[in-house]
A and B are shown apart, each in its own frame.
Chain A
Amino acid sequence: MLKYMAKRFLSMIPTFILAAVMVFSFMHMMPGDPAAVMLGDTATPEQVQALRVAMGFERPIHVQFTRWFTGILQGDFGNSIFFHKPVLRVIVERAETSLFIAVLSMALIVVVGVPIGMISAIRYNSLADQTFSGAAMLAASIPTFWLGLNLMLIFAVVLGWLPSSGFPLVFESGNLGNLKYLILPCVTLAAPNSALIIRLTRASMLDVLREGYVTTARAKGLTELTVTLKHVFRNSLISVISVIGFTFVGLASGTVITETVFALPGIGRLVVESVLRRDYPVIQGVILIIAVAYMLINLLIDCCYTFLDPRIRIS
């Protein structure tokens, strides 16, 4: 087990280096002088020259990459051009909101999506199954921002039940009640992503239901509930867990939109603002960190697999 995990971790290293090369080359694919582009039209030639020197754009490209990459390994992602602060600190300041949104939405997705997917599979082709499957397809077709704006209009503006935007940080104010600001954003983010979980839970349960050991379990007289929970659910759990990795990518994309709609001070909003401000070091930093997070989550999922499924552990 440990040996497998170590091997899996080591295989991540080349992928990480490739990802870093790709993110680094983004900046150098830019047409023209990156320093001039970053500072915009109002910059003086002296300012451009100063930034060019500060960013090391005058050195050979491999020297630039080595310097940048060794910096990253030590947690130094360079300085934000807009904030005049280290990129990592800018990202950490915005992390609280995004982490809350990610964890709460993920919880919502699993709590809603997995049971609905199970019911759809058990009652295959029933009215409930068709309704849920139809609803899932509809939810996957609604643009996140449109759903968010409508929820905001209904629950915040018309009914006045929930706050419409912003998020006073929980750790700063020490007030856990502030989480009510995240209810609408999390529902918005969870809806399209639950659709995916519903469909995949349903599909994997249907596969397991056709297995021979399910027939055997029924034949020896076990109740339908025992068969479902002990035989079908436990075996389909493995493929459901693998979906969580996919869901993370969906959440990372979706949070860019929800944070913009609800004006939340998170990492997603930071990316959009940085794109509009041409603050490239921040964009590079966020993308690389999210890609690494995705790789680590997949690693964790692979480890869960081996833990859950003895067949994989042995082979």
Chain B
Amino acid sequence: MSDFFEALVQRKIALAGSGVLLIILFLAVFSPFVATHDPMGLNPLDRLQNPSAKHWFGTDHFGRDIYSRTVYGARMTIISGSGVVIYSISFGILIGLLSGYFREFGLVAMRLVDVVMSFPPLLLALALIAILGPGLLNVILSVSATYLTHTARIIFGLTLKIKEEAYVEAVRSIGANNGRIILRHILPNLLSPVIVQATFTFAFSLLQIASLDFLGVGVPPQVPSWGNMISEGRIYITRAPGVLLFPGIFIILTVLAFNLVGDVLRDKLDPRFREHLSEVKR
């Protein structure tokens, strides 16, 4: 763990990335204090304004303050992204670990994982949302469906490798049971690859979630998420480009920051494990 922090501090670009993430986190936690207006407050007289002293990023077609909506958008981003990471990483670890450790279970589970991976991520998410209906929790679940298979694949490969290590053999020969081997000896060794995977999952799931919002099947349209803002404002982009520009820049900066941090962490990772972490698909 301390290795990772050291790596982040040493590489300037990663330090910048971590800085951006801290700012986004700050905006998310303290949105009510950082925002200047009510993000939902309608003000038809001030609609489609360009940036000014009163409205720093301008206003949208309902006269809502884009700056305040962008700030609250950070909160939505952190909530939905963390949701996907928590779901996909915990289920991914569970499936991958059990598949790698118990061969018979793995034969079936990994086959299913392969099948899910043959559906393009966004189409799978769309199909699941068609069934579950829109809303934040359903968006998180649908997007996680793809990413948990990626995590499961990686954890499966790593578990197969760690299972053969001499120290696992050693604890087994002194009589440790399967539960103890998995929890005390395999799981802790998966920690650093999981951190790297979580970073990339966050980055790509943000793009996926924003895409669903843009397509109009994500969180309800009045909720200030960055994808929703762009989706709603796109008819007015020639009159008020701010509604396209500012949320877009925030999405790019956040995703880029996660990618940069993920790259540095991957470089720092134990080389035995590095080959298992492939690119995450969009």
Contacts and interface: CB of A to CB of B under 8 A. Distances in A.
Interface of A: 14-15, 18-19, 22-23, 26-27, 29-30, 137-138, 140-146, 149-150, 153, 157, 192-193, 196, 199-200, 246, 249-250, 252-254, 256-257, 260, 271-272, 274-276, 278, 280, 283-284, 286-287, 290-291, 294-295
B273 to A, nearest CB: 17
Nearest to B123: A287
Contacts of A146: 230, 244, 248, 251-252
Interface residues on B, range: 35 or more
Given A141-B255, A257-B122, A19 B115 contact: yes
Contacts of B238: 153, 157
B126 A275 contact: yes
Contacts of B259: 137, 140-141
A257 B214 contact: yes
Contact of A250 (B216, B231, B281): B281
Interface in B248-282: 248, 251-252, 255-256, 259-260, 263, 279, 281-282
A22 B215 CA distance: 24
A295 B281 CA distance: 16
Q: 8 closest pairs, A vs B, by CB?
A: A253-B122, A252-B120, A141-B255, A141-B256, A146-B248, A275-B130, A253-B120, A145-B214
B259 to A, nearest CB: 6
A271 B256 contact: no
B131 interface: yes
Contact of B251 (A143, A274, A276): A143
Nearest to A158: B238
7 contacts: A30-B131, A137-B259, A145-B231, A150-B248, A253-B120, A271-B123, A275-B130
B6 interface: no
A153 B241 contact: yes
Contact of A253 (B111, B131, B279, B282): B282
B27 interface: no
Interface in B104-141: 111-112, 114-116, 118-124, 126-131
Chain A CB within 10 A, most for which of B120, B126, B127, B241? B120
Given A19-B115, A256-B122, A287-B119, A275 B217 contact: yes
Interface string B196-230: 00000001000100110011110000000001001
B180 interface: no
Contact of B211 (A22, A143, A284): A143
B234 interface: yes
Contact of A294 (B118, B130, B231): B118
Given A141-B252, A193-B282, A272-B126, 11 more contacts: A15-B111, A15-B115, A26-B127, A142-B252, A153-B238, A257-B214, A260-B214, A272-B215, A275-B217, A283-B130, A287-B127
Contacts of B231: 145
A256 to B, nearest CB: 5
A145 B211 contact: yes
A249 B248 CA distance: 24
B237 interface: yes
B217 A199 contact: no
A153 B123 contact: no
Nearest to A14: B111
A30 B241 CA distance: 40
A137 B244 contact: no
Chain A CB within 10 A, most for which of B114, B131, B255? B131
Contacts of B119: 19, 287, 290-291
B248 A276 contact: no
Contacts of B131: 26-27, 29-30
A272 B217 contact: yes
A264 B227 CA distance: 21
A192 B280 CA distance: 13
Contact of B230 (A19, A145, A280): A145
Contacts of A150: 244, 248
Given A19-B115, A196-B279, A143 B130 contact: no
A137 B130 contact: no
Nearest to A34: B131
B217 A276 contact: yes
Contacts of A142: 252, 255
Contacts of A141: 203, 207, 252, 255-256, 259
